[in-house]
């Protein structure tokens, strides 16, 4: 079948005619139902127009000019000082020199050393001092001694002589009984001297005697 015969085929024209008729039917339906008017109203809506300004970039800052170079002024001219050199003066001429004989030194006199002084003999040791002088509370201590019960029941009286050393600081040491009339009084006399008696230092060790009397009153 050739090309001319295909163009004369009525079935091909029916499709195109049907499409045109359908398009016109749609247009007429739109006009009748008011669809076209709504389309026009939508198209006529407000249109917002915005003007967008072009952003201008600021120009780069200009570079500051370099500071001017400061040139130091030349130093002032100072003339060199004038130095006056004086001519050496000629001193007097020495015609003759007289030499003097050195003085004769006398021989030193050596004196014999003086004899050393003999040390003074030490003072003789002093005898024991009384406790009344060295110990200020001697009388008070002697009056407060408790009479031994045995001697009091027997009616016995007696006396004890106690000797001790008082150091330079007033300490009592080396306490001993020199004599006693009855041994019953020894313990009471020793206890009173060692625990109650207070003595004053004499600057050196001093031997002291303290007589203790026991009498029934």
Q: What is the CATH number of the domain that holds 209?
A: 3.30.2420.10
Do the domain assignments include residue 17? Answer: yes
Q: How far apart are CA 165 and CA 189, in angstroms?
A: 16
Whether the predicted model's global pTM rises above the 0.75 cut: no
Q: How far apart are CA 169 and CA 122, in angstroms?
A: 22
Do the domain assignments include residue 67? Answer: no
What's the pLDDT score for residue 124? Answer: 46
Q: Domain count for the chain, please give it.
A: 2
Q: How far apart are CA 45 and CA 41, in angstroms?
A: 7
Do the domain assignments include residue 112? Answer: no
- What string of DSSP letters covers 172-207? EEEEEEEEES-GGGHHHHHHHHHHT------SS-EE
Do the domain assignments include residue 173? Answer: yes
Domain of residue 11: give its range: 3-40
Per-residue pLDDT tens digits of the chain, which is 217 residues long: 455 555 556 566 677 787 788 888 887 877 777 655 665 565 555 666 566 666 667 766 676 667 777 777 777 777 776 666 665 556 555 555 556 656 666 666 666 676 666 666 555 455 788 888 889 999 898 888 889 989 888 889 999 999 999 998 888 899 999 999 999 999 999 988 888 888 988 888 999 999 998 988 7
Task: Outline where DSSP puts E strands in 45-131.
Answer: 129-130
Pairing of strands 158-166, 206-214: antiparallel
């Amino acid at each position: 079948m050739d090309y001319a015969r295909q163009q004369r085929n009525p079935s091909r024209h029916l499709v195109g005619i049907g499409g045109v008729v359908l398009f016109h039917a749609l247009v007429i339906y739109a006009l009748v139902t008011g669809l076209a008017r709504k389309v026009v109203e939508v198209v006529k809506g407000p249109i917002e127009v915005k003007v967008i300004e072009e952003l201008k970039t600021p120009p780069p800052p200009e570079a500051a000019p370099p500071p001017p170079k400061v040139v130091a002024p030349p130093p002032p001219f100072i003339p060199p000082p004038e130095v006056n050199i004086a001519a050496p003066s000629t001193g007097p001429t020495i015609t003759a020199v007289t030499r003097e004989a050195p003085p004769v030194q006398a021989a030193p006199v050596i004196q014999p050393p003086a004899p050393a002084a003999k040390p003074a003999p030490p003072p003789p040791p002093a005898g024991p001092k009384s406790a009344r002088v060295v110990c200020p509370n001697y009388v008070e201590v002697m009056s407060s001694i408790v009479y031994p019960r045995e001697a009091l029941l027997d009616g016995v009286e007696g006396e004890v002589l106690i000797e001790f050393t008082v150091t330079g600081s007033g300490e009592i040491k080396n306490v001993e009984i020199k004599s006693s009339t009855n041994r019953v009084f020894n313990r009471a006399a020793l206890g009173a001297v060692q625990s109650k008696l207070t003595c004053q230092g004499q600057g050196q060790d001093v031997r002291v005697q303290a007589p203790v009397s026991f009498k029934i009153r």
